[in-house]
Structure 1
Amino acid sequence: MFPIALGLTSDLVAPDKRQVAIGRTLAGAMTGNLLGASASGLIGDFLGWRGVLAVLGGLVILASVAVAAGFRGADLKSPPRTNLSALKQGYRTIFANPNARVCYSAVFVEGCCVLGLFPFIASFLFEMGQTSLSIAGIVIAGFAVGGLFYTLTVSRFLPWLGVKGMMISGASLVALQLAMVALGPAWKLQTLSLLFMGWGFYMIHGCLQVFASELSVEARATALSLHSFFFFMGQTIGPMAYGFGIQHAGKLPTLLTSAAVMVVLGFVCAGLLRQTKPADAAERPDVQP
């Protein structure tokens, strides 16, 4: 669902304003992340886990009705092709773009280095004597707050830093917070650190989302779905990589290595990613590439 929302946003907004528009779309997602965790706990206390699922199902139905009403009467000037040949052509167009391999590799590394850390936050706090799971939840929630902060500041920082500056600054900010977590400060400082990590993460991640949206016009939803696929593959591999590193090298070397990888990632993305017109841009004159 989320890649489709990003694809629709990208279709409706020109590239020069797309990152701000995607940031506003992310604001809804980040708000949902923050409210969902707390609301589900309250609902679970009163209605149990079945009540949580029932309320969630009702909200999904309401969202479906809102989408159907909002897009009622909207005709497509160029209806999408849904055959296997079109799918094959879409993948060919996406990977013919020189940005594709860099973009997808970068988002995979992001998922490994950043979200791969989260399963270990509670155990790190436990080693420091903080055994409350709610405290671990608060610390991790700082990341979502940082993402929401990004959505509120992207329109101001993007003209100032530019796309390259956003990627380098964001990756460097993430690296700094990984180093902070490695040093094991008190949980309140870790919450603040996770907030800055979330801010930095979305600074570079938002740029990669925009580049993914420009890989193809005709297969834009496919390009953004691949973006999500590689990101979540990184999120899957990340905990295993962290676990192996912590077990064999220790917490401090593993997190500092991850921090170094993020710094390198920011400079590599800034150096290799270029604004390029999608190869199939001429096929959809009704959509701004």
Structure 2
Amino acid sequence: MPELPEVETLVRELRPHLVGRRIQRVVLYAPRSVATPSPAAFVRRLQGQTVREVRRRGKFLWFVLDRGAWLVHLKMTGRLFLREDPAPDPHARADFFLDDGRVLRFSDVRRFGRLYWVPDPAPVLGGLGPEPLDPAFGPEALAERLKGRRGRLKALLLDQRVIAGVGNIYADEALWRARLHPQRRADRLTPAEIRCLWRGLREALAAGLRHHGTTVQWYRRADGTAGEHQHYLRVYGRAGRPCPRCGTPIERLRIQGRSTYLCPFCQPLV
């Protein structure tokens, strides 16, 4: 599933092409992709509107319109990319025809992605935790989010109510950077370990953003090309390969049904 760096990459790449553009027509091929309102109302609400801003909140793309907000959650296989024409695509779920002749296409192989039009995004986005790359999100803010929580670190990092935008890849990368085992209990971290986790989160996410996201399978940038961060991952997907820090073979565990990668030497369960 695209995470913060992938969604932010899309936002940055789409912003200069979409801000100020008018959505002339919407063709919806998969009504079930619309979460709210009804599919017919979704089309009516978007047609004729101008995109005023392109933002991100957690893993959501957020298009500020003349009236209301258009939200997109890509889920596992969703893609948004610009095309000069609506060429045939068996996985196309919606086409948004712009006033400059181009088409913004939403494609989704697994059909899990969701489209929203809402008068106010707060009911959809309001439950998300803080943004980990926000300058105001320091070690103290992370400590406050983890305070009194007995949960395991990996599960808490994946909980969008605790911190927004982190998923499986960057949780593993952040924990490796912080030298923390994914199954450590949050309420047993020392202040120094919380600072290491905060730094690891920011470094892992910033690296993914610097390389335009991680393409393991489905994610693509706004022009349809792959990201590059998969070539720079430290532990994710590297089971059996040497840890880049100590040389110990990376291990793969299953935690809550998710593949989890770690170095057993650098990240002991203490």
Regarding TM over 0.5, the answer is no
State TM-score, norm by structure 2: 0.30
Work out which structure has the larger RCO, using CA pairs closer than 8 Å and 6 or more positions apart in sequence.
Answer: 1
State TM-score, norm by structure 1: 0.28
